[in-house]
C-alpha cells in the first residue's frame, strides 16, 4: 500500500541498485515472499476464528481478539520502524524481525489457551509490523533507480494476492488439518526467507544511526492504545460501562491519550508527529482512510463468521466466498495512477469509497436463502473500490504536508489505518452480537401460529423439546442474518460519510504523481 511505501525508512547510502540478473530476481522474490507471509497472516485467521474459539473453548467474540491483538501490536510498532532501522541497520533489523515473526508464529501454533495465544500473537504483530516498510526499503535499495516502479509493483502484488489466498488457505487448513497450522505454516517459509536473505544481503550496506527516541511518548502510546483496545475487546462480555474494569480502562485510555497528545505536540523528537494534522488535506484524507478501512476490514471479519455459524458453510467455502475481494483490484490498480494524472484525485476517492458503500448496500439483500454467488458478488466487485481508495487517499494526504514531514505523515497514516481496522473489528463485532439479540427478540415477538407449528412437528413424531429447539434454531439463524444485514446498512452509511469527507481536503495540484517509496 502506498502509505507503507512512503513510511519506509530512508535508503542508506552505498551499493544501491547494484543487484542484477538472477541475483536481483531471486532476492526480490524472497523479499516479496517475506511481505506476502506477513500480509497473509492478517487475513488467514479471519475464517478460522470459529475453529480457534472452539478449540480453546471460548466465545467467537473472544476469538476475534486473535485478529485485533495482532493489528494493534503492528500499529504500535510501525512508528518505531525508522528508529529501529537506524539503530540496528536496515538489513539486521529486517532479519531480526523475520526471525522473531517465525518464532512467535511457532509459539502461537502450540498455545494451550487464549491468554497465551494472545501474548504470542502480540509478539507476532510487533515483529511483523516493521517487515512491510523494511521490505520496501530493501527492494528499492537492490533495484536500479529507473526500475523502482517495477519493484513497487512487485511489492504491491503481494499485498493484493495475499488477502485472496488468506481466506482460502485458512479455511482449508482449519477444515482439513488443525487451526494451529495457520500459524505453524509460517515457520518453514520464514526459515527459508531468513537463510536466503542472510546470504544474499550479506554485502548490502546497512549503516546505523543513533537517533533519539521519545521514550515517554512511546510509553504513553502503548498505555492508551492498549487500554482502549482492551476496553473494546472486553466490553461486550462484561456489560460495558456497567462493569468497573471497563470504566477504569476507559478512564485510563482517555487520560493517557490526552497526555500523549500534549506531550507529542511539545516534544522535540516526537514518536508521532501530530503537528501534521494542521494540514487540512492530511486531516481529511486520514479521517476518510481510517473510517473507510475500519468499515471495510470489519466486514472481512464478521462475514466469514456468519457464513459458518448461520449459513452452514465450512471454513473452506467461507474462504472461497471471501477470496474474490482482491481479484478486480489486481486489474484496477495499474489504471488508478494514470487516471490521477488527468482527474481530481478527490473525485477518484469519492467514487471508490462510494462504490464500497454500494457493495455494502448489496449485502443488505442477503438472507439465509442467499446463494454462494450472491454472497461472493459484492466481494468481487468491491476490489475496484479498494483500488480507487488507497492510492489517491494516500497521495492527497502526503501531498498536503511539507516535504520534511512526509515520513512522519506516512507513518501516522499507516498507524491510523491499522489501528482503525482493529477498533472497527471490535466495535462491529459487539454491534453485530447486540443486534443479533435484539433482532431475535423482535422475531419472537412477531411470530404467529407457534402452537400450530409445534403441533405439526409433534404430529410428525418429533418430541416436544426437539420441536421447541428446532423453532429456536430457526429464529437464531434468522436473527443472525438480520443482524448481518443491519451491520451492512450501517457500514454503507459510514462509507458514504468517509466518501464525502474527502471533499474537505483542498484540491491537489493537477498531474500529481502517486506517493512513492523514494
* pLDDT tens-place string over residues 6-42: 444 444 444 444 666 777 778 788 888 888 888 777 7
Provide the pLDDT for residue 128: 83
Crossing angle of helices 406-446 and 372-399, in 10° steps, is 150
pLDDT-based confidence at residue 46 (cuts at 50, 70, 90): low
Q: Give the CATH number for residue 437.
A: 1.20.1250.20
Residue that finishes a domain, picked among 154, 183, 208: 208
Residue that finishes a domain, picked among 181, 208, 235: 208
Provide the pLDDT for residue 449: 61
Residue entry with cell 494451529? 180
Provide the pLDDT for residue 155: 67
Domain count of the fold of the chain: 3
Q: Is pLDDT of 382 > 90? A: no
Residues 105 and 54 occupy one common structural domain = yes
Provide the pLDDT for residue 325: 73
Question: What mean pLDDT do residues 375-381 have?
Answer: 88
Provide the pLDDT for residue 1: 40
Q: Is pLDDT of 511 > 60? A: no
Rounded CA-CA distance 419/398 in Å is 19
Residues 379 and 478 occupy one common structural domain = yes
For 204-236, the three-class secondary structure string (H helix, E strand, C coil) is: CCCCCCCCCCCHHHHHHHHHHHHHHHHHHHHHC
Residues 341 and 485 occupy one common structural domain = yes
Residues 62 and 197 occupy one common structural domain = yes
Rounded CA-CA distance 101/79 in Å is 18
Residues 352 and 239 occupy one common structural domain = no
Determine what percent of the chain is predicted with pLDDT higher than 70: 80
Report the 10 Å Cβ neighbour count for 455: 12
Residues 174 and 264 occupy one common structural domain = no
CA end-to-end span of the chain: 14
Average pLDDT of the chain, as a whole number:
78
Provide the pLDDT for residue 6: 40
- 463 within 8 A of 503, measured Cβ to Cβ: no
pLDDT-based confidence at residue 3 (cuts at 50, 70, 90): very low
Q: Is pLDDT of 164 > 70? A: no
Looking at per-residue confidence, does 132 or 155 come out higher? 132
Residues 82 and 222 occupy one common structural domain = no
Domain that holds residue 414: 279-518
pLDDT in tens, 125-150: 888 878 877 777 777 777 776 665 56
pLDDT in tens, 248-295: 988 999 999 999 889 888 887 777 778 888 888 888 988 998 898 888
Residues 39 and 120 occupy one common structural domain = yes
Of the segments 86-95, 183-192, 226-235, which one has the largest average pLDDT value?
183-192
Residues 182 and 295 occupy one common structural domain = no
- 51 within 8 A of 315, measured Cβ to Cβ: yes
Residue that finishes a domain, picked among 208, 223, 241: 208
Question: What mean pLDDT do residues 335-344 have?
Answer: 79
Provide the pLDDT for residue 437: 83
Residues 23 and 67 occupy one common structural domain = yes
Residues 159 and 220 occupy one common structural domain = no
Looking at per-residue confidence, does 88 or 253 come out higher? 253
pLDDT-based confidence at residue 453 (cuts at 50, 70, 90): low
Rounded CA-CA distance 403/80 in Å is 20
pLDDT-based confidence at residue 458 (cuts at 50, 70, 90): low
Q: Is pLDDT of 93 > 80? A: yes
Residue entry with cell 459484492? 378
Residues 249 and 118 occupy one common structural domain = no
Amino acid at each position: 500500500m502506498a502509505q507503507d511505501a512512503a513510511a519506509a525508512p530512508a535508503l542508506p547510502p552505498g551499493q544501491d541498485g547494484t543487484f542484477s540478473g538472477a541475483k536481483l530476481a531471486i532476492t526480490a522474490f524472497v523479499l516479496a515472499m517475506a511481505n506476502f507471509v506477513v500480509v497473509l497472516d492478517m487475513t488467514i485467521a479471519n475464517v478460522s476464528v470459529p475453529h480457534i474459539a472452539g478449540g480453546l473453548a471460548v466465545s467467537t467474540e473472544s476469538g476475534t481478539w486473535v485478529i485485533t491483538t495482532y493489528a494493534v501490536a503492528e500499529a504500535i510498532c510501525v512508528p518505531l520502524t525508522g528508529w529501529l532501522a537506524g539503530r540496528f541497520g536496515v538489513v539486521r533489523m529486517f532479519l531480526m524481525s523475520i526471525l522473531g515473526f517465525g518464532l512467535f508464529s511457532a509459539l502461537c501454533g502450540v498455545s494451550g489457551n487464549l491468554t497465551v495465544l494472545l501474548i504470542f500473537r502480540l509478539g507476532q504483530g510487533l515483529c511483523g509490523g516493521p517487515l512491510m516498510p523494511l521490505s520496501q526499503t530493501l527492494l528499492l535499495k537492490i533495484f536500479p533507480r529507473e526500475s523502482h516502479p517495477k519493484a513497487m509493483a512487485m511489492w504491491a502484488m503481494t499485498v493484493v494476492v495475499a488477502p485472496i489466498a488468506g481466506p482460502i488457505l485458512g479455511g482449508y487448513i482449519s477444515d482439513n488439518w488443525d487451526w494451529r497450522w495457520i500459524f505453524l505454516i509460517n515457520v518453514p517459509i520464514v526459515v527459508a526467507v531468513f537463510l536466503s536473505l542472510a546470504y544474499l544481503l550479506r554485502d548490502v550496506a546497512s549503516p546505523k544511526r543513533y537517533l533519539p527516541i521519545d521514550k515517554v511518548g512511546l510509553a504513553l502510546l502503548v498505555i492508551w492504545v492498549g487500554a482502549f483496545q482492551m476496553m473494546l475487546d472486553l466490553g461486550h462480555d462484561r456489560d460495558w460501562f456497567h462493569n468497573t474494569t471497563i470504566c477504569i480502562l476507559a478512564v485510563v485510555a482517555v487520560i493517557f491519550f490526552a497526555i500523549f497528545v500534549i506531550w507529542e505536540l511539545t516534544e522535540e523528537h516526537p514518536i508521532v508527529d501530530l503537528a501534521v494534522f494542521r494540514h487540512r488535506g492530511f486531516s481529511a484524507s486520514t479521517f476518510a482512510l481510517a473510517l473507510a478501512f475500519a468499515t471495510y476490514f470489519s466486514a472481512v471479519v464478521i462475514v466469514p463468521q456468519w457464513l459458518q455459524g448461520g449459513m452452514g458453510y465450512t471454513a473452506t467455502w467461507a474462504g472461497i466466498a471471501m477470496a474474490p475481494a482482491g481479484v478486480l483490484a489486481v486489474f484496477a490498480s495499474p489504471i488508478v495512477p494514470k487516471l490521477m494524472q488527468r482527474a481530481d484525485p478527490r473525485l477518484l476517492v469519492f467514487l471508490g469509497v462510494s462504490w464500497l458503500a454500494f457493495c455494502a448496500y448489496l449485502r443488505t439483500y442477503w438472507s439465509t436463502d442467499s446463494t454462494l454467488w450472491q454472497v461472493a458478488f459484492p466481494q468481487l466487485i468491491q476490489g475496484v473500490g479498494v483500488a480507487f481508495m488507497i492510492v489517491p487517499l494516500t497521495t492527497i494526504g502526503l501531498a498536503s504536508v511539507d516535504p520534511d514531514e512526509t515520513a512522519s505523515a506516512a507513518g501516522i497514516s499507516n498507524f491510523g489505518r491499522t489501528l482503525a481496522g482493529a477498533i472497527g473489528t471490535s466495535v462491529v463485532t459487539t454491534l453485530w452480537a447486540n443486534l443479533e439479540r435484539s433482532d431475535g427478540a423482535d422475531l419472537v415477538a412477531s411470530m404467529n401460529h407457534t402452537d400450530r407449528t409445534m403441533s405439526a412437528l409433534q404430529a410428525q413424531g418429533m418430541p416436544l423439546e426437539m420441536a421447541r429447539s428446532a423453532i429456536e434454531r430457526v429464529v437464531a439463524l434468522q436473527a443472525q442474518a438480520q443482524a448481518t444485514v443491519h451491520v451492512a446498512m450501517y457500514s454503507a452509511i459510514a462509507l458514504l460519510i468517509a466518501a464525502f469527507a474527502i471533499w474537505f481536503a483542498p484540491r491537489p495540484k493537477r498531474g500529481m504523481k502517486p506517493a512513492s517509496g523514494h
